[in-house]
Chain A
Amino acid sequence: MNQAYDISHFLAGMMLVASFALIYQERLLAVLRTFALQAVVLALAVAWQAWVQDRPHLFVTAVLALGLKGVVIPIALHRMIFRLGIHRDVEQVVGAGLTMLIGLGLTALSLLLILKATAAAPSLAREGLAIALAIVLLGLLMMITRRNAVTQIIGFMSMENGLILGSTGARGMPFVVEISVAFSVLIALFVFAVFVFRIRERFDSVDVSELDRVRGDRQ
């Protein structure tokens, strides 16, 4: 038990709590703020790893996380939400209680799985990987349970937060891969935005359950 571990454990735990808040939160703008908070905590966690492991290139990752996911993407989504006129929407989360229980189950599952699978790895990496897998699965769960396209985007982005957390605790992705992942997420945001506006144009709503009725151009 040492300080390096305690602080990284604290930051990773806060990211996990933010993931649960994302699943639970109904108001769109609050979801967005929680996501931005998670990204800021991610940046702090990555910066702490860079400091502790003495790997300066991780600082670049931290700055990327802070700049892109803590500032640029939330602002872009914010403007998108206002352009779509859904900033006052309250999305009823279907079966919030059950979803939270599933989330707890997923968290427990990923902890058990990683602890079993990485028995030989150094402790910081095991811990980071375990929580990172939980965050990825929780982001996936959020994408499955939400029906609003914008919250689905946020679920996707929070999955990627977990991915970065996992890669910093372990030996780390090559730097080139990291940069390209960061920018492909940005590209993904543009693609998502185009899709959301198209969905909105066609159905007058960003509820993706409307898509179930689309059967292509068959007459």
Chain B
Amino acid sequence: MRDLLIALGGQAAQMLLVLAIAPAIAVLTKIVKARLMRRRGPPLLQGYRDFLKLVRKDAFLAENASWLFRAAPYLIFALTWVAAALIPTFASGLMFNWAADVIALVAIFGAARALLALAAMDVGTSFGGIGSSREMMIATLAEPAMMLVVLTMALAAGTTRLPEIADFLIGQPLTVRVSLALALIALVIVALAENARIPVDNPATHLELTMVHEAMVLEYSGRHLAMIEAASQLKLVAYLSLIACLFLPFGMAPVEAGLAAWLIGAVAYLGKVAFGAVLLGVWEVSIAKMRVFRINEFLGIAFIFAFLAILLSFLTQEVFG
């Protein structure tokens, strides 16, 4: 009974934690970008203020918007939140541990994306259609690479459950593992594409020729837009946590380790996510947006790297069978 309560409490703490830091992490990237361009950038709390402002405003609906258009933001937010709750952050072995399977995670993100694409086409504007079709193109290229990365990790750890992969990696001595490095590069590329960051999409502009994510959410306003924005911020945090969990699991506490270990884990986690957000800002300033029809080459690199990672880890396992 007590164990159950601890696991439940830890899970609730994690769900609130990811929800609470999501706007700040997204704004942190903006601040880094602005500073590197010698601008001041928004204050760290701007994300929360924007959320409150959008929630208070009236939602404006197109005349022919169906129930799907109104329901989609809440569903997308809920799905993304579940995904963020599944990924181990400061402690492994929480309440949702049994469901924290990477393949399930890919499926949840896929469901959220399908909802967004459907909602974007619902009111029948041309931008929504363009955005959906581009998003689906990116998704068909990114998801195979993502699955291959997952399989690489599964081959190394012998499971596709995230907490167990993290525990396995913590237990390993620190060595040079080329297949893990390749898998990391592939996962980073996939994360950039999935979160609509430069070079795949530019979150800061509404340029007709290139926008993907922004084209899909163009018709949303008020509380619906607030939900969509919160979902995309959560998705960024979820991917950062996923990368941290798979490749930098150090500091993560087992669930029964007690409050002090949890706190250490939480500090380490916040540091890792903030570091990822800063790196993302530096990366986005350093390179240019790609043409839409070159995205397949960029994501092709992710696929190649993920495949090479699998081949090399297979080779290692065979040689040292």
Q: List residues of A whose CB falls within 8 A of some B CB.
A: 1, 3, 5-7, 9-10, 13-14, 16-17, 20, 24, 96-97, 100, 103-104, 107-108, 111, 115, 123, 126-127, 130-131
* A13 touching B178, Cβ below 8 Å: yes
Task: Note all chain A residues with C-beta closer than 8 A to B316.
Answer: 1, 9, 127
Task: Note all chain A residues with C-beta closer than 8 A to B311.
Answer: 104, 107-108, 111
Q: Which 3 pairs across A and B sit closest by C-beta, in order of nearness?
A: A13-B178, A123-B319, A10-B178
* A100 touching B304, Cβ below 8 Å: yes
Which chain B residues in 164-178 approach chain A with CB under 8 Å? Answer: 175-178
Q: How far does the Cβ of A8 sit from chain B's closest Cβ, in whole Å?
A: 10
Cβ of B320 < 8 Å from any Cβ of A? yes
Pick from A108, A123, A130: contact of B320, CB below 8 A. Answer: A123
Task: Note all chain A residues with C-beta closer than 8 A to B300.
Answer: 96-97, 100
Q: How far does the Cβ of A45 sit from chain B's closest Cβ, in whole Å?
A: 12
Q: How far does the Cβ of A157 sit from chain B's closest Cβ, in whole Å?
A: 22
Please report the C-alpha to C-alpha distance between residue A20 and residue B306 in the assembled complex, in whole angstroms: 13
* A1 touching B175, Cβ below 8 Å: yes
Which chain B residues in 272-301 approach chain A with CB under 8 Å? Answer: 296-297, 300-301
Task: Note all chain A residues with C-beta closer than 8 A to B182.
Answer: 13, 17
Task: Note all chain A residues with C-beta closer than 8 A to B176.
Answer: 6-7, 9-10
Cβ of B248 < 8 Å from any Cβ of A? no
- Please list 6 pairs of residues, one from A and one from B, whose beta carbons are closer than 8 Å in the complex, sorted by A's number: A1-B320, A5-B319, A10-B177, A24-B301, A111-B318, A127-B316
Pick from B177, B304, B315: contact of A6, CB below 8 A. Answer: B177
Q: How far does the Cβ of B188 sit from chain A's closest Cβ, in whole Å?
A: 15
- Nearest residue (CB) in A for B309 is A13
- Nearest residue (CB) in B for A9 is B178
Interface of B is mostly: helix
Interface of A is mostly: helix
* A17 touching B308, Cβ below 8 Å: yes
Of the candidates A13, A104, A115, A126, the one having the most CB atoms from chain B within 10 angstroms of its own CB is A13
Cβ of B250 < 8 Å from any Cβ of A? no
Cβ of B179 < 8 Å from any Cβ of A? yes
Pick from B304, B312, B319, B320: contact of A104, CB below 8 A. Answer: B304
Task: Note all chain B residues with C-beta closer than 8 A to A9.
Answer: 176, 178, 312, 315-316
Pick from A6, A14, A16, A115: contact of B175, CB below 8 A. Answer: A6
Please report the C-alpha to C-alpha distance between residue A6 and residue B320 in the assembled complex, in whole angstroms: 11
* A13 touching B296, Cβ below 8 Å: no
Pick from A5, A97, A104: contact of B307, CB below 8 A. Answer: A104
Please report the C-alpha to C-alpha distance between residue A161 and residue B304 in the assembled complex, in whole angstroms: 21
- Nearest residue (CB) in A for B179 is A13
* B178 touching A127, Cβ below 8 Å: no
* B312 touching A13, Cβ below 8 Å: yes
* A115 touching B307, Cβ below 8 Å: no
Task: Note all chain B residues with C-beta closer than 8 A to A131.
Answer: 315
Which chain B residues in 183-239 approach chain A with CB under 8 Å? Answer: none
- Nearest residue (CB) in B for A3 is B175
Asked, given contacts A17-B182, A20-B304, whether A127 binds B175 with beta carbons under 8 Å apart, the answer is: no
Task: Note all chain A residues with C-beta closer than 8 A to B312.
Answer: 9, 13, 16
